[in-house]
Amino acid sequence: MTNNEPHSPQPNPAHTQPEDNTNVGLLIGILVVAAFVVILNETTLTVALPVLMKDFGITSEAAQWLTTSFMVTMAVVIPTTGWIMQRFTLRAIYIFALLTFLAGTILAAVSSTFAVLLLARIIQACGTALVIPLLMTTIMRLVPVERRGGVMGLVSVVIAVAPAIGPTFSGFVLEHLTWHWTFLLIIPLVVIALIIGVWQVKNFETPSRPSLDVLSVILSAVGFAGLIYGMAGLASLAEGIPWDRVGILAIAVVVLAVFFSRQNSLAKSQQAAMAKQEATAGVEGADVDHNIPAPLLNLAPLRSREYVLSLGLMLVSFSMLFGFIILMPLFGQNVLGMSEFETGLVSLPGGLLMGVLGPIVGRIYDAKGVRLLIIPGSILLALSMLGFASLNPDSTAWHLTGYAVLLNLGIAFLMTPLMSNALASVPNHLASHGQAILNTFQQIAGGAGTAIFIAIMTFASTSKAKDGYTDPVTILNHGIHVAFLFGLVVSIIPILFSIFVKFDVLRDKKPEDAAQSAVDAQ
């Protein structure tokens, strides 16, 4: 069922019954494997940037575009996934996403110039942006609400283990082979996931033909791309105000305001037109005119208190995680003198622990709800920031690894229940839009976390140098110390909200009841 067909004769059960005797567990398992492969790719270049800078003769700012362009592309494509999920079949989207990602990976593996590698990363991001919403929307449609926490726990395995293995995998490859092999070795995994998907992925819904508002696509692309690009430029604030980036950021905010306003307007117009059609037809199952302009991104989930609260806390946690991801290699390699492989190993134990805990946390959420988990999770997050802030040149790799484990433990207790709680508050026919909003803002939070942590680190390092310090290790260590102190202050927000704000127990409600109480969209 789609948001263009809210009164279809087809019933709206707690979850969709798949056609053709589809094995739900197998289908979700295939999508989880595909998601693991594409997310693994996201972090493989984290420890390879210094090598790429040397090979291509580029600056650190240029090299960062290999990650920034990935986030920008994701932020541009993801808002369209709500429409894509309604317009095309699951199988078609899966095949297209994997083929696109495979093409980008092959191009990256054979690239000999920075421009070609950058293009390859953008193509990879287009495929990645489709795989995650595909997985999450499938779960929302096929898994009953009382069991979603456990299944979401499997998703957290992907979110945790793949990014943790990425730097370790890349570090190992860089010590023995060239950086091209970080892509070459992923190609067989993508091919296997593609072949299995072509063989096993079946459709469980008939796609509709929702209209596509081209103006909304343009506004979304300009707004979200400009927002992440502008925020990325703020990392150079210590060298002076980057007025060009500030200007782009301001324009992006205005464009997004217009975009959001248009989505609300389109949703109201569509709703009124459908009501008029039903009244004219005189029956509840009246045919819907699919030429009625539909919102590209239905913002109805944002009217849910539970959705907004869970999303907000998740984004704060996500920005802290990205702050660690960007600063950890700098500290490990430039302050502690660790190799690329050793730096990559820092994230591995915590990521594996998070993956093991994911399904367990999901089952606890199904049984006990969200607050029992996010209170200790937010406290662990703050303690990890405090630990990172206490690091100094005399610290060891074990200290860094221990605090990374603490961080991943906190994220494990936060991400699954918050994600499950947010999506449980979304009506079934808005699942793809709720997931698109969540994924889009995750990219924004990642970009913001990266830019803010780097900007604070640079500011503090510059200030230390102006005080007369000349040792680069001391200067960089001070900058990272101040950046993590900022992370400590921000991490207090989830603690306060998790303790003092009441969450509804959405797992005990039928989806229709949860939607009615949480989303006053009709």
Between CA 210 and CA 217 the distance in angstroms is 14
For residue 277, the model assigns a pLDDT of 67
For the stretch 382-419, pLDDT in tens is 999 999 999 888 888 898 889 988 988 888 888 878 88
Between CA 385 and CA 490 the distance in angstroms is 9
6 pLDDT more than 60: no
10 pLDDT more than 50: no
For residue 379, the model assigns a pLDDT of 92
For residue 386, the model assigns a pLDDT of 92
Give the residue-averaged pLDDT of 498-518: 55
For residue 265, the model assigns a pLDDT of 83
201 pLDDT more than 50: yes
Any domain includes 6 = no
Cβ(418)–Cβ(53) under 8 Å? no
The total domain count for the chain is: 1
For residue 235, the model assigns a pLDDT of 64
Cβ(418)–Cβ(370) under 8 Å? yes
For the stretch 137-179, pLDDT in tens is 777 767 766 666 667 766 766 766 777 677 777 778 887 888 8
Sign of the alpha-carbon torsion through 178, 182, 183, 189: positive
Give the residue-averaged pLDDT of 200-212: 68
Give the residue-averaged pLDDT of 479-489: 89
CA-closest candidate to residue 326, choices 68, 54, 126, 40: 68
Q: Please give the mean pLDDT across all residues of the chain.
A: 77
- Quote the tokens at residue 258: 């217009």
Any domain includes 50 = yes
Give the residue-averaged pLDDT of 280-302: 65
For residue 508, the model assigns a pLDDT of 45
Between CA 225 and CA 235 the distance in angstroms is 16
Any domain includes 304 = yes
For residue 504, the model assigns a pLDDT of 62
Any domain includes 2 = no
For residue 100, the model assigns a pLDDT of 92
What's the CA angle centered on 193, arms 178 and 314, to 5 degrees?
85
For residue 384, the model assigns a pLDDT of 92
For the stretch 461-472, pLDDT in tens is 888 887 777 778
Cβ(34)–Cβ(98) under 8 Å? yes
Any domain includes 347 = yes
Amino acid at 480: I
Distances (CA, A) of 459 to 86, 229, 321, 465: 46, 20, 21, 10
Share of the chain above pLDDT 90, in %: 6
Give the CATH number, domain containing residue 267. 1.20.1250.20
Any domain includes 206 = yes
Band (281; pLDDT cuts 50, 70, 90): low
CA-closest candidate to residue 359, choices 98, 505, 161, 171: 161
Between CA 83 and CA 68 the distance in angstroms is 25
Residue with the larger pLDDT of the pair 422 and 511 = 422
Between CA 471 and CA 475 the distance in angstroms is 6
Domain that holds residue 351: 24-518
Band (22; pLDDT cuts 50, 70, 90): low
287 pLDDT more than 60: no
Q: Is the pTM of this model over 0.95?
A: no
54 pLDDT more than 60: yes
CA-closest candidate to residue 413, choices 458, 379, 463: 379
Residue with the larger pLDDT of the pair 5 and 17 = 17
Cβ(148)–Cβ(425) under 8 Å? no
Any domain includes 1 = no
For the stretch 303-361, pLDDT in tens is 888 888 888 888 888 888 888 877 887 888 888 888 777 877 887 788 778 777 877 88
Cβ(414)–Cβ(361) under 8 Å? no
Q: How far out from the chain centre does Cα 265 lie?
A: 27
522 pLDDT more than 50: no
Instruction: Output phi, psi for 62, to 5 deg.
Output: -65, -40
For the stretch 169-197, pLDDT in tens is 777 888 788 888 888 988 988 888 888 87
Any domain includes 349 = yes
